[in-house]
Amino acid sequence: MTAPLRIPTLPGHDFMLPPNLEGLRELAYNLWWSWTPRAGALFARIDSAAWGRSRSPIAVLSGIGPARWSELLADEDFMVDASRLLDEFERYLANGSDSWYRRATDADVNAALPGPVAYFCAEYGIHESMQIYSGGLGILAGDHCKSASDAALPFIAVGLLYRRGYFRQQIDADGHQEHAQPYVDPTMHPLRRARARDGSALQVAIDYPGRMVHAAVWVAQVGRVPLLLLDTDIPANDGADRPITHILYVRGREMRLCQELVLGVGGVRALRGLGIEPAAWHLNEGHSAFLLLERARELMAADLSLNAGEALRRVGRDAVFTIHTPVAAGNEVFERGLVTKQLAPWLDATEMPPSDLLELGRGRTDEPDAPFDMTAFVLRLASDANAVSRLHAATASETWEPISGHPIGPITNGIHLATWLGRPIRRLYERATGLSLGSDAAGPEAFSKLDGVSDEDLWGAHRQQKRELIEFMRRRLARQFARHGESPDVLRELHAAFDPEALTIGFARRFATYKRADLIFRDEDRLAALLGNPNRRVQVVLAGKAHPADRPGQRVIQRIFTLTRSEPLRGRVFMLEDYDMRIARFLVGGVDLWLNNPRRPLEASGTSGMKAAANGIPSLSVLDGWWDEGFNGRNGWAIGGREMLEDEEAQDAADAAELYRILEEEVVPRFYTRDAGGLPDAWVATMRASIEAAIWQFSTARMLGEYVERLYLPVALRAPATV
Ligand SMILES: *Cc1c(COP(=O)(O)O)cnc(C)c1O
């Protein structure tokens, strides 16, 4: 076995620790803590206020003075727990041999792979404290890295450090979405500068028309996996270039293109600066497409007989691509003029005629001025590509096969269990399987042991998670109501409104209009009747952001918010603001039913329903994305069938009617039917079926195994592109 990749770094933010707690430094700098609840609990014990405020161990440790350390050093329980945790952490880092993949295939992936997999993505959702993600794509990338770490796969990830991140949402008293920009201060996060071979802080230079732009390279360590994050906000750059990497999914098209040059070109140069020779290159979405340009330029510099077209074809051989959405707006295109302007240095260096490059980026159109389509560009060059569910593979192949030249097969998304399971449910799993989910990689065989968990224990663990959700919502909504100037009586009314016994329906996701967040509000009277039955109480919780440029999405938020504050839905429907990974964890762990009703087939996969299912929370969903293959008749409910009407309005009406019918006739009766002991036994059977169907099949452990076998190994074992 080869040792995990170690990226040399400079020391991080300077703070003092007592010598016998020095181990906490590496722990704080390794995001392993983000999926190890005991680690979070330990940092909270050190300073609960600082942990509550920042949820960042570096921020916590930076603020502790000698007096508090003396107290902790004298606290025997604390010292024992800290040393156990540090032992576990050390074992996790050292133990590269106990991966599921290795046990299952009996193959040593490290030996088979001549170098690491380099994974490129525009966003990473590792933990809520690092706001460099916006939604599903980022969370999936984070979960992918965590599972690569669990599996001891040689793997290195590359992204951007957005100092202004993705916006934070506040909803004002009239329901308008307000956009606040966070500030990501690298010194308060587990980020250290990568060290160049000469010992200085590594910095890469990227060619732009008439100048070079420099990027710092930060390392965020995710268990065994290093994540490199590039950052142009450094003194070496002109003031006009420093904001290039500030904002995730920045609106300005030219700025976006400049940003993607940092990711693609800068990312390759960062790997080279560290002496890393990847064996496979994974482009997760098209934003990193320009890495192919940089690698082609490298190849041409090494072999002067190559022309640019041939070099691009060669570097595509060890590149694989994952397409993530059938929605047109999700596939990045740039005006031709912007591309030839910003890529002028590359075009000069390679002597490729601009029109040839533009043709490689031609989408499915014959128009002479068609914009440069990043998805089409990568699909033409990459040796293989996958979609993120079976249904998505069918729609993606239909759209893209004329360009890719081969069908696009599915590797269905998954979730990282240790990140998304609530603690009570996780304890049940760990007791039943004998595994520690944060340290051991569990294979499919482990989860067959869940049969041994009793209905009472499962229901009890779920109720505990639901209580935690309700406490969390009370605190969050009280803060929101107070900000809106509501009276103390209204705050008291709010506190009483939450009913821990009521059937609680959750809906949280981006408020893109195809997701139809307002479908359940289509017939307000029918919904009010459903929620208003005092003997069978039902409540709904929603959360989600609309992109700052998405006005229709913002109007949906406003409409729903207004409904939550007026009769007859007031006190039965709640809207949490600033949806993030933390809110997601509470919701997917604590509601009773997960609702998803996109317009089929526009949801490529969806992962929030998988998170809910692993926690024993069934889905009520349109047969779209993962649910099209995940629904088995026992683990939840399907809204409608697989045939869609041409007329969107008629489809919405039909789906809404079916949604109400299922809630009224199936969901509510099943939830409220109790056995002699007060247990909703039929409901618990549905919960169990949810877990059984999801726990392995929709985990990133299973998903990663498929990436290794179907994409990484085949391209890595092919003759390398780079000589
Ligand atoms: C899981 C998750 C998502 C993606 O869920 P979808 O089902 O794809 O909408 C988005 N945002 C957050 C914060 C999440 O945790």
CA of 508 to the centre of ligand 1 (A): 7
Which atom, in ligand 1's list, is nearest to the CA of 607? 7
Question: In 376-516, which ranges are E strands?
Answer: 384-387, 409-410, 503-508
Whether the predicted pLDDT of 98 surpasses 60: no
Which atom, in ligand 1's list, is nearest to the CA of 581? 13
171 within domain boundaries: no
Which atom, in ligand 1's list, is nearest to the CA of 136? 4
Do both 321 and 306 map to the same domain?
yes
CA of 610 to the centre of ligand 1 (A): 10
Residue with CA closest to ligand 1 atom 8: 606
CB of 626 within 8 A of CB of 415? no
Do both 406 and 501 map to the same domain?
no
Do both 646 and 565 map to the same domain?
yes
Mean pLDDT across 663-677: 97
CA of 182 to the centre of ligand 1 (A): 20
Which atom, in ligand 1's list, is nearest to the CA of 415? 1
Do both 383 and 480 map to the same domain?
no
Whether the predicted pLDDT of 448 surpasses 80: no
Do both 308 and 353 map to the same domain?
yes
Residues flanking ligand 1, CB < 6 Å: 135-136, 139, 509, 579-581, 584, 606-609, 611
Place of tokens 């390398």: 720
Residue with CA closest to ligand 1 atom 4: 136
Closest CA to 165 of 257, 238, 245: 245
575 within domain boundaries: yes
Do both 335 and 470 map to the same domain?
no
313 within domain boundaries: yes
pLDDT score for 28: 98
* pLDDT band with cut points at 50, 70 and 90 for residue 450: confident
Mean pLDDT across 622-632: 97
CA of 390 to the centre of ligand 1 (A): 19
pLDDT score for 494: 84
Residues whose CB falls within 8 Å of the CB of residue 572, separated by 6 or more in sequence, listed in order: 497, 531, 532, 538, 539, 540
CB of 180 within 8 A of CB of 564? no
| Residue 96 Cα distances to 149, 395, 417, angstroms | 9, 38, 19
CB of 38 within 8 A of CB of 437? no
What is the CB neighbour count within 10 angstroms for residue 267?
A: 29
CA of 137 to the centre of ligand 1 (A): 8
Cα–Cα dist 370/363, whole Å: 7
Among 607, 610, 627, residue to substitute to test ligand 1 (most atoms within 8 Å of Cβ): 607
What is the CB neighbour count within 10 angstroms for residue 614?
A: 28
Structure-block tokens of residue 559: 């409409």
| Residues in a beta bridge with 504 | 539
CA of 90 to the centre of ligand 1 (A): 31
Do both 545 and 404 map to the same domain?
no
What is the CB neighbour count within 10 angstroms for residue 723?
A: 8
Extract long-range pairs of 391-394: CB within 8 Å, 24+ residues apart: 391/601, 391/624, 391/625, 391/628, 391/629, 392/323, 392/326, 392/601, 392/604, 392/605, 392/625
CA of 139 to the centre of ligand 1 (A): 7
Cα–Cα dist 156/333, whole Å: 27
Q: 323-334, pLDDT tens digit by residue?
A: 998 887 778 999
Q: What sections of 201-331 are H helices per DSSP?
A: 253-261, 267-273, 291-302, 308-316
Residue with CA closest to ligand 1 atom 1: 608
666 within domain boundaries: yes
Task: Quote the domain boundaries for residue 712.
Answer: 280-415+700-718
Output the domain CATH number for residue 671: 3.40.50.2000
175: left (phi over 0), alpha (psi -120 to 50) or beta: left
* pLDDT band with cut points at 50, 70 and 90 for residue 440: low
Cα–Cα dist 586/422, whole Å: 8
Do both 555 and 664 map to the same domain?
yes
**Out of 108-112, 446-450, 506-510, least confident range:** 108-112
CA of 611 to the centre of ligand 1 (A): 9
Cα–Cα dist 654/26, whole Å: 55
Residue with CA closest to ligand 1 atom 5: 608
Do both 670 and 714 map to the same domain?
no
Residue with CA closest to ligand 1 atom 9: 509
Do both 411 and 423 map to the same domain?
no
Structure-block tokens of residue 262: 């940092």
Give the strand pairing for 538-543 and 573-576: parallel
Structure-block tokens of residue 45: 């014990």
User: DSSP string of 97-114?
Assistant: S--HHHHHH---HHHH-S
CA of 608 to the centre of ligand 1 (A): 5
CA of 663 to the centre of ligand 1 (A): 23
pLDDT score for 327: 80
Q: 215-254, pLDDT tens digit by residue?
A: 999 999 999 999 999 999 999 999 999 999 999 999 999 9
**Out of 108-117, 307-316, 449-458, least confident range:** 108-117
Burial class (CB in 10 A: 0-12, 13-18, 19+), 367: exposed
115 within domain boundaries: no
Residue with CA closest to ligand 1 atom 11: 135
Q: 359-413, pLDDT tens digit by residue?
A: 999 998 899 999 999 999 999 999 999 999 999 999 999 999 999 999 999 999 9
Q: What is the pLDDT of the chain when averaged over all its residues?
A: 93
Among 132, 416, 509, residue to substitute to test ligand 1 (most atoms within 8 Å of Cβ): 509
321 within domain boundaries: yes
Among 389, 413, 608, residue to substitute to test ligand 1 (most atoms within 8 Å of Cβ): 608
Burial class (CB in 10 A: 0-12, 13-18, 19+), 452: exposed
Structure-block tokens of residue 52: 């509550």
Which atom, in ligand 1's list, is nearest to the CA of 596? 7
Which atom, in ligand 1's list, is nearest to the CA of 580? 13
Do both 651 and 673 map to the same domain?
yes
Do both 532 and 633 map to the same domain?
yes
CA of 669 to the centre of ligand 1 (A): 29
* pLDDT band with cut points at 50, 70 and 90 for residue 5: confident
Mean pLDDT across 509-520: 94
Cα–Cα dist 241/249, whole Å: 17
Number of domains in the chain: 2
**Out of 445-449, 577-581, 611-615, least confident range:** 445-449
Q: Which residue has the higher pLDDT, 469 or 114?
A: 469
22 within domain boundaries: no
Q: 256-272, pLDDT tens digit by residue?
A: 999 999 999 999 999 99
Residue with CA closest to ligand 1 atom 3: 136
Closest CA to 113 of 274, 222, 276, 275: 276
185 within domain boundaries: no
CA of 639 to the centre of ligand 1 (A): 20
Cα–Cα dist 577/574, whole Å: 10
CA of 260 to the centre of ligand 1 (A): 23
